[in-house]
């Protein structure tokens, strides 16, 4: 198809699900170059792009509803436009890879489907659909504000967890090359002070490359980037947190943050074994290993409750583990039986009401632990990265200290005197005055 240059491409974007999806969206939008103009609604757009999540049923439902809403808005715009002009509706991401053919049959109004197997072709497919040129190799179009950016280091996953749909959706683990990632990170560091490394299993990075020590060459390159203040690594699988890796991270120092996001999923060995987790032994050993190298580390994890066969005894074991370990941050998810996963066909499925009770009980315990941990920071002065002004009142800002990751953890509210204006994207010293269940408050 021939391409004719246009002055601008008005794009309305919705990126659902995890930060890895957000990076895919930002990379695609970057290829549209300076022609891309973000707009707030489908009615204003030349292109309505929805990057979907298909991981669990609630995410599937959210994605489908968002697509239907975009189709409705596009049709309404076509009906009100004198020339019948209709925004092009493109749907991308995990939902497409999981239910592609069914979606195409059910939603013929969608103009372009972008599955994750063809992610490197997305720019050219969008270009052809818009009849507009793309700019390969251009910087990402960030959507996270001036405080932070995500760096996705790999695609897919090669683990065989029995509850997870990711390998069937995204395929096996594939690392992006070190030089590509360092170049991208250098561009990001010109715009933001914090880079957050994400991947389905960050500790598996490089296992498919001839780099020798997995994460080590990449972290070396990232830690040497000029202007980078904070480097945070998420999705550190317990099996990959070896003494060798921890020793290296200890030596790196700044900008690496001693924040360890370790998705344990459970604590009882019987449940972990049934889940098919790559680390099914005692998770206390991983926690102890991390704290041996980083005594003051902030630990975050996620757990699944109500997995098939989880008994009251298994759950009480998990509760005792959380009480003993004292995580800074913890997420809890009721198990969802996803079509096509081995766990969905298991016997001894747990009742939904029991799942919800267990989730609520574990989160109540964690809320108490979180408040106790945060109260220990009252009276201290902490570095806080300012994200944005608060809408509540002038002089109040929303930020994060080093043990708070965006979107998943709490925040730090910062009050500044009337004559002081704080700039989003800067790190300031804040005297902590108050601790709530998940948030801190202080003065600059």
Task: Write out the binding residues.
Answer: 18, 53, 94, 157, 161, 164
Ordered DSSP codes for 152-192: E-EE------TT--HHHHH-S-EEPPHHHHHHHHHHHHTT-
CB 275 within 8 A of CB 329: no
CB 29 within 8 A of CB 13: yes
The maximal CA–CA distance of the chain, rounded, in angstroms, is: 69
Annotated binding site for [4Fe-4S] cluster: 18, 53, 94, 157, 161, 164
Give every CB contact of residue 395 below 8 A, 6+ residues apart in sequence: 415, 416, 417, 418, 420
Query: Where does residue 93 fall: left (phi above 0), alpha (psi -120 to 50 degrees), or beta otherwise?
Result: left
Distance (Å, whole) CA 398 – CA 391: 9
> Do the strands 298-305 and 329-334 form a parallel or antiparallel pair, or are they unpaired?
parallel
Q: Each residue of 230-257: b (16+ CB within 10 Å) or e?
A: bbbbbbbbbbbbeeebbebbeeeeebbb
Nearest to 276 by CA among 206, 346, 224, 213: 346
Ordered DSSP codes for 393-418: STTEEEEEETT--TTTS--EEEE--T
Give every CB contact of residue 41 below 8 A, 6+ residues apart in sequence: 12, 73
Helix then strand then coil, in percent of the chain rounded to 5, is: 40, 20, 40
Token output for 285: 């050993």
Residue 70 CA, chain-centre distance (Å), reads 24
Which residues are 12's β-sheet partners?
48
> Do the strands 427-435 and 440-443 form a parallel or antiparallel pair, or are they unpaired?
antiparallel
Ordered DSSP codes for 93-139: EHHHHHHHHHHHHH-TT--EEE-GGGGGGHHHHHHHHHT----TTPP
**Residue 305 backbone dihedrals phi, psi, to 5 degrees:** -110, 150
Secondary structure class of 434 (helix, strand, coil): strand
């Amino acid at each position: 198809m021939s391409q004719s240059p246009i002055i601008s491409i008005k794009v309305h974007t919705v990126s659902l699900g995890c930060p890895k999806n957000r990076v895919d969206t930002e990379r695609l939008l970057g290829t549209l170059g300076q022609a891309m103009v973000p707009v707030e609604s489908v009615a204003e757009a030349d292109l309505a792009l929805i990057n979907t999540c298909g991981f669990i049923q609630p995410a599937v439902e959210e994605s489908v509803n968002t697509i239907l809403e975009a189709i409705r808005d596009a049709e309404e715009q076509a009906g009100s436009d004198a020339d019948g002009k209709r925004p092009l509706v493109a749907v991308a991401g995990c939902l497409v890879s999981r239910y592609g053919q069914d979606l195409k049959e059910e939603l013929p109004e969608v103009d372009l489907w972008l599955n994750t197997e063809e992610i490197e072709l997305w720019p050219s497919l969008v270009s052809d659909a818009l009849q507009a040129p793309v700019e390969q190799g251009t910087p990402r179009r960030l959507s996270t504000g001036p405080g932070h950016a995500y760096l996705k280091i790999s695609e897919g996953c090669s683990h065989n967890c029995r509850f997870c749909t990711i390998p069937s959706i995204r395929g096996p683990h594939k690392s992006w090359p070190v030089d590509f990632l360092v170049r991208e990170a250098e561009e990001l560091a010109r715009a933001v002070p914090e880079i957050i490394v994400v991947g389905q299993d960050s500790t598996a990075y490089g296992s498919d490359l001839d780099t020798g020590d997995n994460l080590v060459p990449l972290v070396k390159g990232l830690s040497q980037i000029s202007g980078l203040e904070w480097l945070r690594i998420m999705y550190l699988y317990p099996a990959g947190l070896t003494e060798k890796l921890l020793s290296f991270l200890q030596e790196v120092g700044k900008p690496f943050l001693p924040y360890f996001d370790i998705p344990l999923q459970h604590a009882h060995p019987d449940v972990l074994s049934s889940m098919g987790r790559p680390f099914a032994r005692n998770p206390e050993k991983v926690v102890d290993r991390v704290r041996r190298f980083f005594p003051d580390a902030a630990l975050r994890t996620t757990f699944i409750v109500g997995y098939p066969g989880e008994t009251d005894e298994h759950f009480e074991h998990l509760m005792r583990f959380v009480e003993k370990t004292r995580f800074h941050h913890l997420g809890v998810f009721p198990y969802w039986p996803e079509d096509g996963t081995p766990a969905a066909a298991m016997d001894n499925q747990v009742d939904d009401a029991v799942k919800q009770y267990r989730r609520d009980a574990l989160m109540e315990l964690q809320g108490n632990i979180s408040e106790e941990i945060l109260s220990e920071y009252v009276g201290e002065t902490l570095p806080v990265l300012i994200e944005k002004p608060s809408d509540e009142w002038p002089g109040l800002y929303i930020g994060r200290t080093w043990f708070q990751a965006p979107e998943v953890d709490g925040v730090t509210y910062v009050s500044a005197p009337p004559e002081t204006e704080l700039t989003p994207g800067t790190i300031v010293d804040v005297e902590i005055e108050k601790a709530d269940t998940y948030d801190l408050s202080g003065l600059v």
